[in-house]
Amino acid sequence: MKQIILKLNELRRGKNTFQVSSTAQELELEDIEYPIVGSIDTDIEVYRNRNNYEIKLRTRFTFHLTCSRCLTEFDREFQDTGAFYLKKGEVPDIPEGMIKDEHVETLYVSGDEYDLAPIIREQVLLSIPMKPLCSDSCTVPSYDSGVDEMDSRWADLIKLKEKLM
């Protein structure tokens, strides 16, 4: 997998912004449930305060999906945003029971480089929809109920619909 290295020493104090574009192949996302169309684009924002870094990632990409109801194939763009803190140094010993949310979201790095690729890959994986729908109103047409009670004028339309599908 390719690396997307953040060079901590080279970041200026305050806000730093970057854009990075990856392919599904580079992030080992070729064999997931739905193929990715085009590139995976990430906006990276790092706010540096001494050796503390607040990192925000906004990743955009398009899945080629299959509707779980009508089986229509369609492309849909997704966006995932995430934020975490990065600190240089060893993981502090936090007594059990003292762990707060702020500690869970803080990652520690010993060197001067941090690879963002696994985090971006995770953003894509967590966005895979369980039951994609081509539209909110998508329904599976049902022919076995209520057809007899239907106005006969609908019959031709139903046949036409069957041909189109």
Q: Which residues bind Zn ion (CB under 5 A)?
A: 67, 69-70, 72, 134, 138
Minimum distance, C-beta of residue 131 to Zn ion, in the bound complex (Å): 10
Write phi, then psi, for 65 (nearest 5 degrees).
-105, 160
Query: Which residue number, 138 or 155, has a Cβ lying nearer to Zn ion?
Result: 138
Give the residue from 3, 94, 90 showing the smallest Cα distance to 51: 90
Query: Which residue number, 72 or 106, has a Cβ lying nearer to Zn ion?
Result: 72
Minimum distance, C-beta of residue 119 to Zn ion, in the bound complex (Å): 32
What is the rounded CA–CA span in Å between residue 162 and residue 156? 10
Which residue has tokens 């990632």?
A: 57
What is the rounded CA–CA span in Å between residue 85 and residue 108? 8
Minimum distance, C-beta of residue 98 to Zn ion, in the bound complex (Å): 49
The amino acid that residue 15 corresponds to is K
Please state whether beta strands 106-109 and 73-88 pair in parallel, antiparallel, or not at all (unpaired).
parallel
Minimum distance, C-beta of residue 72 to Zn ion, in the bound complex (Å): 5
Query: Which residue number, 8 or 133, has a Cβ lying nearer to Zn ion?
Result: 133
Query: Which residue number, 69 or 76, has a Cβ lying nearer to Zn ion?
Result: 69
